[in-house]
């Protein structure tokens, strides 16, 4: 049966980009409909950030107990219970999102949406075919994973990240293909659980888009923990092995190399998911690599149609989706020009963690800044000592003449929490002196950020660190 209705705002996709848009718009009194073809919470909640971090956290506990010097006896891991905890967390969080959407008066429709015209979409599900007219439409359809030619997860020996989040058992040997954020995270997770892990990356280093000194340090940490890391190595083909598992052909700098493992995890690459939207009906390109919005804005060239989150292209991060959702609602309400902040922290979850925001030293110099670099190492931090996690450092890049913070790059324990301090400082144009004037609790990991600010003026307390000054006079 086909029915038709209208609303102020139609949001397509119920991930962080979509539900943030819907909640904020409905709170401002817009009659909002959100359509989701699968589960509320999108990739982030159902098969990304949340389940991956739940398993990673539990795996770190397993590794800590196994490596603990003052406890004895064999402890048995119940992988099933670990996976159950993750699944329960996802389900309760999903219910939580449904609750908030309901409280705000967002109408949630199950189904898949595609355009019929500029302000008109069809929503199809098993029972209904609904046509919706909307004054504004926000596309938050996320991204899909693409794999190299001839490579496809099969759910048995060749895993996708979805499979790796629901393992029936811990493989004895696992090759993780791709050393980006997800590859490093899964390599850490499975190493913590006791698998022999090989991490391969086709580029010259792991985390190719991350601050190179920190990426090198993380590589050393992974290697020290027993992960084998192969760079300039690509997976060419996968075939079943006679003895079970898979036979991999790797393309290395020295030529082809064979490897046999129990499981291989393909992390793939992410591309905006737009193919099903029939964007041609409103004159937009469906090609994943074409920008849908212009000038860092969230509105597309079609007035009243917005794109947020992974559907808008890289970086593929949930907090970028949320920031864009906020920018889109503000634009719809006439409160901004539809541009989003470009200051998006990047976090890599593992052990240690890595987090970065703003300019690297190199980027700051290329932008013509004369810079000061303040550094502080976790080995001089009391809280890191109490946690037994003294590996890592904080690098604070500031503009030398003004003292304004330009970028902060961290590797160490829980730096994915600390990086928000740096984002707050940069976003609000704070200078190093403002950080120095702030009282940080002791003992706390956040003191490393404070000490990096002190180090910028050669004043660090718990370690002698000389600041470096570079760039044009």
Ligand X SMILES: Cc1cc2nc3c(=O)[nH]c(=O)nc-3n(C[C@H](O)[C@H](O)[C@H](O)COP(=O)(O)OP(=O)(O)OC[C@H]3O[C@@H](n4cnc5c(N)ncnc54)[C@H](O)[C@@H]3O)c2cc1C
- Which residues bind to ligand X, rule: CB under 6 A? 12-18, 35-38, 42-44, 47-49, 52, 112-113, 140-142, 161, 182, 273, 276-277, 309-311, 316-319, 321, 349
CA–CA separation, 419 and 80 (whole Å): 33
Give 17 or 245: the residue with its C-beta nearer to ligand X. Answer: 17
Query: Which run of H or E residues covers position 355?
Result: strand 353-358
Residue 432, φ and ψ in degrees, nearest 5 = -60, -35
Q: How far is the CB of 130 from ligand X (least distance, A)?
A: 12
* DSSP reduced 3-state for 232: coil
In 10 A of CB 244, how many CB atoms? 9
Which position has the token pair 């809280």?
Answer: 383
Give 160 or 448: the residue with its C-beta nearer to ligand X. Answer: 160
Q: Are 157 and 173 in contact (CB under 8 A)?
A: no
Q: How far is the CB of 219 from ligand X (least distance, A)?
A: 20
Q: How far is the CB of 148 from ligand X (least distance, A)?
A: 17
CA 439 from chain center: how many Å?
30
The answer to whether the peptide bond before residue 453 is cis (omega within 30 degrees of 0) is: no
- Among the options 211, 319, 377, 442, which is catalytic? 442
| Nearest of 123, 108, 121 to residue 22 by alpha carbon | 108
* Beta bridge mates, 258: 249
CA–CA separation, 278 and 305 (whole Å): 13
Distances (CA, A) of 76 to 33, 150, 258: 48, 38, 34
Distances (CA, A) of 436 to 324, 351, 432, 451: 32, 28, 6, 8
Report DSSP letters for 376-407, one per residue.
EEGGG-HHHHHHT----EEEEEEETTT-BEEE
* Beta bridge mates, 143: 272
In 10 A of CB 245, how many CB atoms? 19
Q: How far is the CB of 429 from ligand X (least distance, A)?
A: 25
Q: Are 417 and 424 in contact (CB under 8 A)?
A: no
Give 141 or 456: the residue with its C-beta nearer to ligand X. Answer: 141
Q: How far is the CB of 406 from ligand X (least distance, A)?
A: 23
Q: How far is the CB of 257 from ligand X (least distance, A)?
A: 27
CA angle 359, 361, 363 (to 5 degrees): 55
Give 17 or 407: the residue with its C-beta nearer to ligand X. Answer: 17
Give 177 or 435: the residue with its C-beta nearer to ligand X. Answer: 177
Q: How far is the CB of 111 from ligand X (least distance, A)?
A: 7
3-state helix, strand, coil in the chain (%, to 5): 35, 30, 40
Q: How far is the CB of 465 from ligand X (least distance, A)?
A: 31
Q: Are 311 and 17 in contact (CB under 8 A)?
A: yes
Give 372 or 409: the residue with its C-beta nearer to ligand X. Answer: 409
Q: How far is the CB of 452 from ligand X (least distance, A)?
A: 24
Give 18 or 392: the residue with its C-beta nearer to ligand X. Answer: 18
* Beta bridge mates, 353: 412
Which position has the token pair 């013509």?
Answer: 368
Give 76 or 92: the residue with its C-beta nearer to ligand X. Answer: 92
* DSSP reduced 3-state for 412: strand
Give 36 or 361: the residue with its C-beta nearer to ligand X. Answer: 36
| Nearest of 152, 155, 153, 158 to residue 245 by alpha carbon | 158
**442: annotated active-site residue:** yes
| Nearest of 204, 205, 178, 180 to residue 347 by alpha carbon | 180
Catalytic residues, by residue number, are 442
């Amino acid at each position: 049966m086909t029915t038709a209705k209208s609303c102020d705002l139609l949001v397509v996709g119920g991930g962080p980009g979509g539900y943030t848009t819907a909640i904020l718009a409905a709170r401002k009194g817009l009659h909002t409909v959100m359509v989701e073809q699968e589960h509320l919470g999108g990739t982030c909640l159902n098969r990304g950030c949340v389940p991956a971090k739940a398993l990673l956290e539990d795996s770190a506990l397993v590794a800590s107990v196994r490596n603990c010097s003052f406890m004895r006896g064999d402890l048995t891991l119940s992988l099933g219970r670990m996976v159950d905890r993750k699944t329960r967390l996802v389900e309760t969080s999903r219910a939580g999102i449904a609750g908030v959407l309901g409280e705000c008066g967002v109408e949630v429709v199950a189904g898949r949406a595609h355009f019929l015209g500029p302000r008109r979409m069809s929503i199809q599900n098993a029972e209904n075919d609904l046509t919706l007219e909307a004054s504004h439409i926000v596309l938050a359809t996320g991204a899909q994973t693409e794999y190299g030619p001839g490579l496809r997860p099969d759910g048995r020996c060749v895993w996708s990240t979805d499979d790796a989040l629901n393992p029936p058992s811990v493989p004895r040997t696992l090759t993780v293909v791709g050393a980006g954020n997800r590859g490093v995270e899964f390599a850490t997770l499975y190493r913590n659980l006791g698998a022999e892990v090989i991490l391969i990356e086709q580029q010259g280093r792991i985390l190719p888009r991350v601050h190179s000194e920190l990426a090198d340090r993380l590589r050393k940490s992974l290697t020290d923990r027993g992960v084998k890391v192969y760079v300039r190595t690509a997976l060419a083909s996968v075939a079943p092995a006679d003895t079970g598992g898979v036979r991999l052909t790797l393309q290395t700098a020295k030529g082809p190399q064979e490897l046999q493992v129990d499981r291989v995890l393909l992390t793939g690459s992410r591309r905006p998911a737009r193919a099903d939207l029939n964007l041609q009906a409103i004159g937009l390109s469906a090609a994943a690599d074409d920008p849908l919005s212009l000038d860092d804005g969230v509105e597309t060239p079609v007035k009243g149609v917005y794109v947020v989150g992974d559907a808008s292209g890289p970086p593929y991060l949930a907090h970028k989706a949320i920031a864009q959702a906020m920018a889109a609602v503000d634009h719809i309400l006439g409160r901004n020009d539809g541009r989003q902040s470009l200051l998006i922290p990047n976090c890599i979850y593992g052990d240690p963690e890595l987090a970065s925001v703003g300019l690297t030293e190199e980027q700051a110099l290329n932008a013509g800044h004369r810079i000061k670099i303040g550094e502080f190492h976790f080995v001089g931090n009391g809280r890191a000592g109490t946690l037994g996690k003294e590996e890592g450092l904080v690098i604070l890049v500031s503009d030398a003449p003004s003292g304004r913070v330009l970028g902060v790059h961290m590797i160490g324990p829980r730096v994915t929490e600390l990086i928000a301090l740096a984002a707050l400082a940069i976003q609000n144009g704070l200078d190093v002196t403002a950080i120095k004037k702030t009282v940080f609790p002791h003992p706390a990991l956040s003191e490393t950020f404070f000490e990096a600010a002190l180090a910028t003026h050669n004043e660090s307390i718990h370690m002698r660190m000389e600041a470096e000054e570079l760039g044009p006079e």
